[in-house]
Amino acid sequence: MALILHAGKSNKNAYKALIAAEYAGVQVQLAPNFEMGVSNKTPEFLKMNPIGKVPVLETPEGPVFESNAIARYVARVKGDNTLYGSSSIDYGHIEQWIDFSSLEIDANIGRWFAPRKGFGPYLPPAEEAAISSLKRALGALNTHLATNTYLVGHTVTLADIITTCNLYLGFTNIMIKSFTSEFPHVERYFWTLVNQPNFRKILGQVKQADAVPPVPSKPAQPKESKPKAKDEPKKEAKKEAKKEPEKPKVEEEEEEAPKPKPKNPLDLLPPSKMILDEWKRLYSNTKTNFREVAIKGFWDMYDPEGYSLWFCDYKYNDENTVSFVTMNKVGGFLQRMDLARKYAFGKMLVIGSQPPFKVKGLWLFRGPEIPKFVMDECYDMELYEWSKVDISDENQKERVNQMIEDHEPFEGESLLDAKCFK
Burial call 58-81: b when 16+ CB within 10 Å, e when fewer: beeeeebbebbebbbbbbebeeeb
Contact of 147 with 325, CB cutoff 8 Å: yes
Asked if residue 82 belongs to a domain, the reply is no
Structural domain harbouring 141: 88-203
> Do residues 389 and 302 share a domain?
yes
Asked if residue 241 belongs to a domain, the reply is no
**Structurally, how many domains does the chain consist of?**
3
Q: Which domain-ending residue is among 77, 97, 117?
A: 77
Query: In the 8-state DSSP scheme, what is residue 41?
Result: G
Secondary structure of residue 182 in the 3-state scheme? coil
Asked if residue 369 belongs to a domain, the reply is yes
> Do residues 63 and 100 share a domain?
no
Asked if residue 210 belongs to a domain, the reply is no
Asked if residue 336 belongs to a domain, the reply is yes
What CATH number does residue 320 fall under?
3.30.70.1010
> Do residues 112 and 54 share a domain?
no
Q: Which domain-ending residue is among 77, 112, 141?
A: 77
Q: Is this prediction's pTM over 0.75?
A: no
Q: Which domain-ending residue is among 188, 203, 218?
A: 203
pLDDT of the chain, 422 residues: tens digit per residue: 679 999 988 899 999 999 999 999 999 999 998 998 899 999 999 999 999 999 999 999 999 999 999 999 999 988 778 899 889 999 999 999 999 999 999 999 999 999 999 888 989 889 999 999 999 999 999 999 999 999 999 999 999 999 999 999 999 999 999 999 999 999 999 999 999 999 999 999 999 999 999 988 765 444 444 454 444 445 454 444 444 444 444 333 333 444 555 778 899 999 999 999 999 999 999 988 999 999 999 999 999 999 999 999 999 999 899 888 888 889 888 988 888 999 999 999 999 999 999 999 999 999 999 999 999 888 789 899 999 999 999 999 999 999 999 999 999 999 999 999 99
| Ordered DSSP codes for 113-128 | HHHHTTSS---HHHHH
> Do residues 158 and 288 share a domain?
no
> Do residues 291 and 415 share a domain?
yes
> Do residues 68 and 101 share a domain?
no
Return d(Cα 142, Cα 148) in angstroms, integer.
10
